[in-house]
């Protein structure tokens, strides 16, 4: 929809992230218009202070960054899917802070609307490995996509079992696509790209630094209707994924393990605190998510329970069942177009509204 180079240039500005990029694009309508705007115009966007506005207006490294990113991406046969593209996964669009763009190997598929994440420790017990492989294999046979993080341990067993069973799997990594991590999973990454998707929010060349993985985990859960935790310590990365899933109003499941095993304490804690549903087989997951074989069941994603201000509610009620122009929304709500845009942006941040080309807005059903 937009020129990818412009989005790359915008994403290279210091102190800018997905939420601010979305706010800017929503305000100006196109990344190119953002890049050509004056600091004064930029500072009128909610969340953009004068200092950041100056950074954007005077940023000179964007062209070189975009050239280098596209060169590296083309070298490995990858591409970029933006939040405004039809291919961008609908489930991921519904989270609070979806990435503005994804670096992608492979292709998304309509079947990915029914996805289940499976995560766990990098050092599973034989029992954990068995369950990871069993769940990956059984979901594959039901044409349900698995999602995980390509890490050692549970992630690797899930991806591998899914592929061996002829299913689709999505790997979300915490480094650039050209920096596979762990290195020994490079062959597995290639197999996933051939029969599923490998995605990263991080620019090409990004190393797998520790701060990247919590951000990576929100995408794993965001791509999925539910997240299954197999084995995890109480402070393990899988627990972060479970927390992000709950924040996104997605279901969380936990497989019970040996009560004396440290690697089961995270799953047991989730169950004990009522934050996860105990599962003993894949049917428990399918029943809760109302999924069935063949990707023919209509997917239900729970609408977030969001508190709206009086003005947000007026704006939301003014949006018709079909895409509605901002002027019509403002007129129906009896507010100025500027006030309407501010509240529409807030509703978009809360995952209730989506902006379409031509200053049209639609509810996210």
Give a yes or no: residue 84 inside a domain.
no
- Residue pair 176/105 in contact (Cβ under 8 Å)? The answer is no
Distance (Å, rounded) from C-alpha 365 to C-alpha 355?
Answer: 13
The pLDDT of residue 306: 63
> What's the half-sphere exposure (Cβ side, CA atoms, 13 Å) at 115?
29
The pLDDT of residue 292: 62
Neighbours of 337 (CB within 10 A): 15
Longest CA–CA span in the chain (Å) reads: 64
Q: Are 61 and 116 within one domain?
A: no
pTM of the model: 0.81
Q: What is the pLDDT along the chain (365 residues), one digit of tens a residue?
A: 678 999 999 999 988 999 999 999 989 999 999 999 999 999 999 889 999 999 899 988 899 999 999 999 999 999 999 999 999 999 999 998 999 999 999 999 999 999 999 999 999 999 999 999 999 999 999 999 999 999 999 999 999 999 999 999 999 999 999 999 999 999 999 999 998 999 999 999 999 999 999 999 999 999 999 999 999 999 999 999 999 999 999 999 999 999 999 999 999 999 999 999 999 999 999 999 988 655 434 444 444 456 788 888 889 989 876 778 898 999 888 888 888 888 888 888 777 888 877 788 888 75
Residues 17/22/24/29 CA torsion (nearest 10 deg): 150
Provide the domain count of the chain. Answer: 3
Please give the residue range of the domain that contains residue 331: 310-363
Q: Are 52 and 134 within one domain?
A: no
Alpha helix ranges (H) inside the chain: 4-11, 18-28, 31-35, 39-42, 50-58, 62-75, 90-93, 126-141, 154-164, 186-195, 212-222, 237-247, 265-272, 282-289, 310-318, 326-333, 337-349
Give a yes or no: residue 82 inside a domain.
no
CATH of the domain at 44: 1.10.150.20
Distance (Å, rounded) from C-alpha 110 to C-alpha 104?
Answer: 16
Q: Are 137 and 221 within one domain?
A: yes
């Amino acid at each position: 929809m937009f020129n990818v180079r412009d989005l790359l240039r915008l994403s290279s500005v210091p102190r800018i992230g997905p939420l601010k990029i979305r706010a800017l694009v929503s305000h100006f309508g196109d990344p190119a218009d953002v890049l050509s705007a004056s600091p004064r115009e930029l500072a009128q966007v909610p969340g953009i202070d004068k200092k950041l506005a100056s950074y954007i207006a005077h940023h000179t490294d964007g062209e070189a960054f975009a050239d280098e990113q596209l060169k590296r991406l083309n070298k490995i046969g990858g591409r970029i899917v933006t939040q405004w593209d039809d291919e961008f996964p609908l489930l991921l669009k519904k989270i609070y802070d979806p990435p503005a763009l994804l670096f992608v190997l492979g292709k998304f598929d309509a079947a990915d609307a029914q996805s289940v994440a499976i995560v766990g420790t990098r050092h599973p017990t034989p029992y954990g490995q068995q369950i990871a492989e069993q769940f990956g294999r059984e979901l594959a046979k039901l044409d349900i996509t698995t999602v995980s993080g390509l890490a050692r341990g549970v992630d690797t067993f899930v991806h591998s079992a899914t592929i061996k069973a002829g299913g689709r799997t999505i790997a979300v990594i915490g480094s650039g696509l050209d920096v596979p991590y762990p290195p020994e999973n490079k062959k597995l990454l290639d197999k996933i790209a051939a029969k599923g998707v490998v995605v990263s929010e991080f620019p090409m060349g990004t190393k797998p630094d520790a701060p990247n993985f919590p951000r990576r985990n929100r995408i794993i859960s965001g791509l999925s209707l539910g997240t299954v935790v197999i084995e995890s310590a109480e402070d393990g990365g899988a627990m972060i994924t479970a927390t992000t899933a709950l924040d996104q109003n997605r279901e969380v499941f936990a497989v019970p393990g040996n009560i004396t095993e440290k690697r089961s304490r995270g799953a047991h804690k989730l169950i004990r605190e009522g934050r996860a549903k105990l599962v003993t087989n894949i049917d428990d997951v399918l029943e809760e998510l109302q999924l069935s074989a063949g990707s023919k069941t209509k997917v239900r994603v729970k609408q977030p329970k969001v508190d709206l201000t009086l003005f947000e509610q007026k704006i939301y009620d003014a949006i018709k069942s079909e895409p509605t122009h901002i002027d019509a929304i403002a007129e129906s709500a009896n507010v100025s177009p500027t006030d309407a845009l501010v509240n529409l942006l807030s509703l978009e941040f809360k995952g209730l509204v989506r902006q379409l080309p031509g200053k049209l807005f639609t509810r996210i059903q």
